């Protein structure tokens, strides 16, 4: 298994959930966390390297605590909220009943946001794996150097041959 595969599994199971700056939403509800974990596993199976729709929704939700969203961000958040309600069977508010279609700019902005969230979420995992690999390589290097300094001691049987040894009886 490659480091990239390991990183993606770690991301799906335990990767950080990115929120807007300011500290709002650092402890998302368990329903959101569980949904994100499930969607991340599905994203891995699809070989999709983007944050999930629920992650984007949570990020925009936390961003909305900092101030009003612009028109496009509001439309994206409404689109994501509707998708979340449909996929989880939650009751929808009246204004979400009608299908919400994003224009090209809004869709582009959503994809860009998902890419940015994914990169931010993967960064600590990749750094941790690189650090572990570096430590492992240093340890292997030290072990090789120790073998040069302290060669492995051989038993007497290695030098005289096992077949020349008589059994004592």
pLDDT digits (tens, 9 = 90+) for 80-120: 999 999 998 988 889 899 999 999 999 999 999 999 999 99
Binning pLDDT at 50, 70 and 90, where does residue 136 land?
Answer: confident
The answer to whether 77 and 61 have CB atoms below 8 angstroms apart is yes
Q: How far is Cα 57 from Cα 133, in angstroms, rounded to an integer? A: 34
Domain count of the fold of the chain: 1
* Torsion, Cα of 37, 54, 84, 25 (10° steps): 100
Asked if residue 115 is part of any domain, the answer here is: yes
pTM for the model: 0.76
Q: Is the pLDDT of residue 145 over 70?
A: no
pLDDT digits (tens, 9 = 90+) for 17-31: 999 988 677 889 998
Backbone angles phi, psi at 12, to 5 degrees: -65, -40
pLDDT at 165: 47
Asked if residue 144 is part of any domain, the answer here is: yes
Asked if residue 77 is part of any domain, the answer here is: yes
Asked if residue 169 is part of any domain, the answer here is: no
Q: How far is Cα 58 from Cα 40, in angstroms, rounded to an integer? A: 14
Q: Which pair of tokens denotes residue 106?
A: 């809004």
Q: How far is Cα 111 from Cα 54, in angstroms, rounded to an integer? A: 13
Domain extent for 56:
3-164
């Amino acid at each position: 298994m490659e480091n990239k595969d390991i990183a993606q599994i770690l991301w799906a199971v335990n990767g950080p959930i990115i929120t807007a700056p300011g500290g709002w939403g650092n402890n998302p509800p368990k329903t959101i966390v569980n949904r994100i974990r499930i969607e991340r596993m599905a994203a891995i199976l699809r070989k999709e390297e983007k944050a999930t729709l629920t992650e984007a929704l949570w990020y925009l939700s936390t961003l909305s605590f900092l101030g009003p969203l612009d028109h496009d961000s509001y439309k994206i958040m409404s689109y994501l909220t509707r998708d979340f309600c449909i996929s989880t069977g939650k009751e929808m508010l009246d204004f979400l009943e009608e299908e919400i279609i994003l224009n090209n700019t809004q869709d582009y902005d959503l994809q860009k946001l998902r890419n940015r969230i994914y990169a931010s979420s993967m960064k600590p995992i990749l750094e941790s794996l690189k650090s572990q690999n570096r430590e492992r390589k240093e340890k292997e290097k030290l072990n090789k150097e120790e073998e040069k300094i302290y060669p492995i001691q051989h038993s007497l049987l290695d030098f005289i041959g096992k077949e020349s040894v008589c059994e004592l009886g």
